[in-house]
Structure 1
Amino acid sequence: MAPRRQGATGEREAEDAQGCCVPGECLRPREPVRVEDAVRVLCNNDTCAVGRYMHRECFEQWEAGVLAYLKSCGRARSWSERQRHQNLWTKKGYDLAFKACGCRCGRGHLKKDLDWAPPGAIVRADEEKKRRRRTRSGRTPAAVDVRSRAFSLSSSGSCSPPSASSEPSASPTHAVPHAITSAKRNSKPEIVSDRIRAGAGANGIFSRRLDFSTFNLLPKHKVNSYQIKIEDEGNHGNDDTRLFILSTLAGQHKPRVSCALCKETLDVFDRYPLVDGTFFLSPRQHTSSAVEVKVEGRTQYLTCVCMGCLERCDPERTIRCRFCGQKWDGSSLVLGTMYSYDIFMATPCCAERLKCNNCYKPLLHPHQRLNYSDYSHPVTCPHCRVLDAHFVKPLGYCFTKRAFPLFQQWP
């Protein structure tokens, strides 16, 4: 679909920008989209009437979900975070990620309009250039601006309310693996395994990780700081996600957690990676070991899945959909951190997973897709009007470890 020229803005663009067209939940549903602070997208369905503009915050959240999907696609798995950002809306990346860009119209896919700029953006850019020239003219030649690039992995889904800080803790001793320590001399961004982290634990009950030897079970291309969360987001170790997890578990006196699938017991560490697996929040208590928490006024359950089940290290750890037989794959998820949505229900594979928990009628068309996190949000069934997290169903109902699906139908 050919984009309209920017010269033809005005009343037509103002009309288009009345409602946010983000798939899923709008972060500012009561506020119309202001073109000056919006992102324009294009739908390849010529008859789409949903709209062309998103609130910038809504677009950034939606884009993060698409980037998370791209991370699991083909050649994009070997790209860095920066490469995925650069390639996403170009042909190179979009050809891989378009399936995660479904429009609310149900018949097309959205793509960021790279040729469009908000009204006044060019003027502001010129003013910024002039300001920078004035600033540079006042500097001495000896002044050097050194900048360091920081990267983060918890944007793939982890977010949580802040919590209290913590106290130092003791730890078990591990041998430093030769395979990883020898990689320190390489130019690749490998994990530095022999560094003992400075900083606090939480109430003295959590372990101190001395090395990363447990991650040697992963394929070599995954032993890096993009696949394994190793750095705090905040300054001086004040990472909201880490503090939220540690304070929650400390309040329950739980220095260890159990995998929701295999029930294996896992140590919780005071620094990233927090666990040899990953945490996630779900509106459903999948296992008795899941810890109840309150997040933004909603009851959630802090749950853990071990690295072996995420990576399907052996056939016994493979689970598949009871209805269509498709295998669940968690190998693209970042290890050692937390996702703010139910990772098992974030990618429904068939129509049976899209039915109301009360009247059992479909909530979406089979080809309609939401953002990963939206499947964990409460929605109102259009048929029976019951409000519930309808897409989140019991693990035992959705999945089986048998070689063939049971084809049990939701009533």
Structure 2
Amino acid sequence: MAPRRATGMDNVVAIEPSGYTRCCVPSGDCLRAQQRVGTNPGEDPMAIALDDLRDTVRVTCNNDLCTVGRYMHRECFDQWEQTVLSYLKTCGRARSWSERQRHQNLWTKKGYDLAYKACGCRCGRGHLKKDLDWMPPPPTANIFGRIEEIDTTGAKKKKRRNRNSRPSLTCMPIGHMGDGRNRTESLSCSSSGSSSPPASGSEPSVSPVHGAHSKKKSKVDIPDRVRIAGGANGIFTRRLDFSSFNSLPRNKLNSYQIKTEDEGNHGNDDTRCFILSTLASQGRSKVRCILCEEQLLVFDRYPLVDGTFFLSPRQHAKSCIEVKVEGRTQFLTVVCMACLEGVNGRAIVCRFCNQKWDGSSLILGSMYSYDIFAAMPCCTERIKCNSCYKPVLHPAQRLNFFSDYSHMVPCPHCRTMDTHFVKPLGFCYTRHVPRTSILWP
């Protein structure tokens, strides 16, 4: 077990009044206890009311006899999670992961098998893991984020949702979508107030509903948060439902595959503000996919687009917007969800090795800071110098980070400095023609 400060609380079971439990943060350093937030003198600040779990995270202990508790205040969990992520950074293959990958993999088998030693429970005989399938009871809220309450006179009161609340998507199986697709289990999504924990990238957060005749409701745990306009000037669309993601496989309907949450305080997310302010300065509320040229709406909050943005040192199409990032000229580019998934014959393949480009693993609705087409060269032709056409790298050599392939590097043969791995798309790829589309005489 990872070393942790002794608190004198290990193996101690607190007796709580009926209907209450205590924050089970492993360090024992409950932030509510330190700040005495939301408590009256004489009340236990570590107490959590079981009838109001909206601002908590549930964890599970693999010790079946553990009696320490299953809930943490969200801020306590977030602080504890950071210590586990710091431990994961020192473990095996996770040392080469990016911060985003470590966060995505932490509570899945891929990451937890490496980090579990840092997740010791206060019971002393087990390890904690975030319960990814749990959804706290939601308050009553409409799509505009206002919570309705009934006062003693029977009249309805309206108040704005607390900025720290995180509504999730509640998705219902329906028989027919408005776009004409007949899918017995397609998902129609709308916001419902809830502060549920984010779902895993590899473990779907969809309730197990199998078979075309199932009548059970399924829930997709995609949290949301109130965000500021971010310099958008009101030109962008407000997303009221998530039905455009119904075409995705069910295991991708979670908050790790679809970017749904700001990373900054009170909605001040740098990436979102950068994208919206850049597009607003151009007066653009829509963008074009560089592969199929389909127009995509840009939304004022995550997920920003039904696809993904990325920055490239090369202007792949006229629709790409020139920006300055850390003194470097980059081009804001977008690929739609259908092209990323390669559906309906939209796949592209390498002209040289005939390998299909696959963007299905990329996170939707956000932005990558590097050229996603250059990040994973599939053959020797992709790593040749743009000037002398000799390999810049040994065919078996790989750079440490995906972003390294978008940087300027010198050719070891002609010494030309260039972004050698970022090639024109027309030079690298050709469209894949499905066999079913070949016409026979």
Deviation (angstroms), 1:339: 0.3
In structure 1, distance between residues paired with 2:189 and 2:411: 54
Distance 1:374 1:182, change over 3 A: closer
**Partners of 2:131 and 2:352 in 1: CA distance:** 46
Task: State the shift of 1:85 in Å.
Answer: 2.9
- Looking at structure 1, the residues matched to 220 and 281 of structure 2 have their Cα atoms a distance apart, in angstroms, of 31
2:394 matched to which residue of 1?
A: 365
- Number of paired residues? 261
Give distance in 2, aligned partners of 1:65 and 1:403.
37
Structure 1: give runs of 5+ residues left out of the alignment: 1-38, 44-58, 72-78, 91-113, 115-147, 151-175, 405-411
**Contact 1:177 1:213 survives alignment (8 Å):** no
The equivalent residue for 1:85 is 111
- Are residue 354 (structure 1) and residue 383 (structure 2) matched? yes
Match in the other structure for 2:263: 233
Matched, 1:398 2:428: yes
Gaps of 5+ in 2: 1-88, 118-129, 133-170, 174-186, 200-204, 207-218, 435-441
Which of 243, 250, 253 aligns to 1:213? It is: 243
Match for residue 298 of structure 1? 328
- 1:349–1:65 distance in 2 versus 1, CA, 3 Å: farther
Conserved? CA contact 1:381–1:387, under 8 Å: yes
1:3-35 Cα shifts (integer Å, max 9, x gaps) = xxxxxxxxxxxxxxxxxxxxxxxxxxxxxxxxx
Q: Secondary structure at the match of 2:229?
A: coil
The change in CA–CA distance for 1:355 and 1:240 in structure 2 (over 3 A counts) is same
Question: How much has 1:63 moved relative to structure 2?
Answer: 2.0
1:343 and 2:372 correspond: yes
Query: 1:10-159 alignment to 2 at 5 Å?
Result: 62-64=96-98, 67=101, 82-87=108-113
For 2:91 and 2:225, how far apart are their aligned partners in 1? 46
Match 2:414 to one of 346, 359, 384: 384
CA distance in 2, matches of 1:261, 1:89: 40
Equivalent AA in structure 1 for residue 425 of structure 2: L
TM-score (norm 1): 0.56
1:183: how far off? 11
> Which has more strand, going by share of residues?
2
What amino acid maps onto 1:218 in structure 2? L
Give the secondary-structure state (helix, strand or coil) at the position aligned to 2:324: strand
Distance 1:378 1:403, change over 3 A: same
1:275 counterpart = 2:305: yes
Paired residue type of 2:323: V
Conservation of the 8 A alpha-carbon contact between 2:225 and 2:262 = no
Query: Superposition pairs for residues 133-212 of structure 1, below 5 Å?
Result: 178=173, 179-181=187-189, 188=205, 191=220, 199-200=228-229, 202-212=232-242
Distance of aligned partners of 1:65 and 1:239 in 2 relative to their CA distance in 1, 3 Å threshold: closer
Q: Distance in 2 between matches of 1:196 and 1:385?
A: 49
Aligned with 1:320 (options 349, 357, 367): 349
Confirm or deny: 8 A CA contact 1:346 1:376 kept in the other structure.
Answer: yes
Contact 1:277 1:304 in 2 (8 A): yes
Judging changes above 3 Å, is the alpha-carbon distance between structure 1 residues 149 and 381 closer, same or farther for their aligned structure 2 residues?
farther
Match of 1:94 in 2: none
* 1:63 partner letter: W
Q: Which has a greater percent of helix?
A: 1
1:287 to 292, 303, 317: 317
1:402: Cα distance to partner? 4.1
Change in 2 beyond 3 A, CA 1:212/1:80: farther
**Superposed CA offset, 1:181-209 (max 9, x none):** 59989993654689895643611110000
The structural deviation recorded for 1:84 is: 3.3
How far off its partner does 1:385 sit?
Answer: 1.0
- State whether residues 378 and 387 of structure 1, in contact with CA within 8 Å, keep that contact through their aligned partners in structure 2: yes
Q: CA RMSD in A?
A: 3.7
| Cα distance, 1:210–1:196 mapped onto 2, change above 3 Å | farther
Deviation at 1:382, TM superposition (A): 1.1
Q: Which residue of 1 aligns with 2:183?
A: none
The residue matched to 1:236 in structure 2 has which SS?
A: helix
What CA deviation, in whole Å up to 9, does each residue of 1:71-116 have, x standing for no partner? 8xxxxxxx665543334699xxxxxxxxxxxxxxxxxxxxxxx9xx
Secondary structure of 2:256's match? coil
> TM-score, normalization: structure 2?
0.53
Which residue is equivalent to 1:107?
none
Per-residue deviation, residues 386-410 of structure 1 (Å, max 9, x unmatched): 1110000000000001459xxxxxx
Query: d(CA) in 2 for partners of 1:273 and 1:66?
Result: 16
Higher relative CO (CA 8 A, sep ≥ 6), structure 1 or 2?
A: 1
C-alpha contact (below 8 Å) 2:349/2:357 kept by paired residues: yes
Name which one, 1 or 2, has greater alpha-carbon Rg: 2
- Paired letter, 2:272: R
Q: Name the CA distance, whole Å, in 2 between partners of 1:193 and 1:82.
A: 16
**3-state SS of paired residue (2:426):** helix
Select the residue among 268, 283, 288 that pairs with 1:253: 283
- Does the alignment pair 1:263 with 2:289? no
Alpha-carbon shift at residue 211 of structure 1 (Å)? 0.6
Label 1:386 to 1:308 Cα distance change in 2 as closer, same or farther (>3 A).
same
Deviations 1:293-351 (A, max 9, x none): 01111100000000000011112x01000000000000000000000000011100000
The share of aligned pairs that are identical, in percent, is: 58
